[in-house]
Amino acid sequence: MKKIILAFFSLVAISSYAQMPQDTIVYKYIIAEPQGKLFGDKCKLRIDDGIDPKKAKNKNKTITFRSFAAALMYLTSQGWELVSNYSKVEGAMVSGIGSSETSTYWILRRPSSKEEVEQIVKESLKE
């Protein structure tokens, strides 16, 4: 009886594996940092693509957005999908007087070819 049950579960596992898609989706990721005041009227975007962190540009000119939301909508219009976001707070205090600065980061992805992702990894490794 145990052999029959084991054979049944083995058959179920094999058939489940056979039904799984063989083509796995590969994603290219970026980290975007909007720079400016959260509710200000000007925002620039710094993008880390894994190789060369740089400002978002259009025809070699840095793009300025009206708001963080406009910058995020621009990225989604380019095919990027927001995966996660986080903030980092840094500060200092001297003689009871202090200040802090908060940075926001967006992690975005879009489907890519395995070869393109492998090329980015190859270029991003420091020897």
> Tens digit of pLDDT for each residue in 75-117?
999 999 999 988 888 888 888 888 887 888 999 999 999 999 8
User: E strands within the chain?
Assistant: 26-35, 43-48, 54-55, 57-58, 61-62, 64-65, 81-94, 97-112
Structure tokens given for 120: 């980015």
Query: Who's near 26: CB < 8 A, 6+ residues apart?
Result: 111, 112, 113, 114, 117
pTM exceeds 0.75, yes or no: no
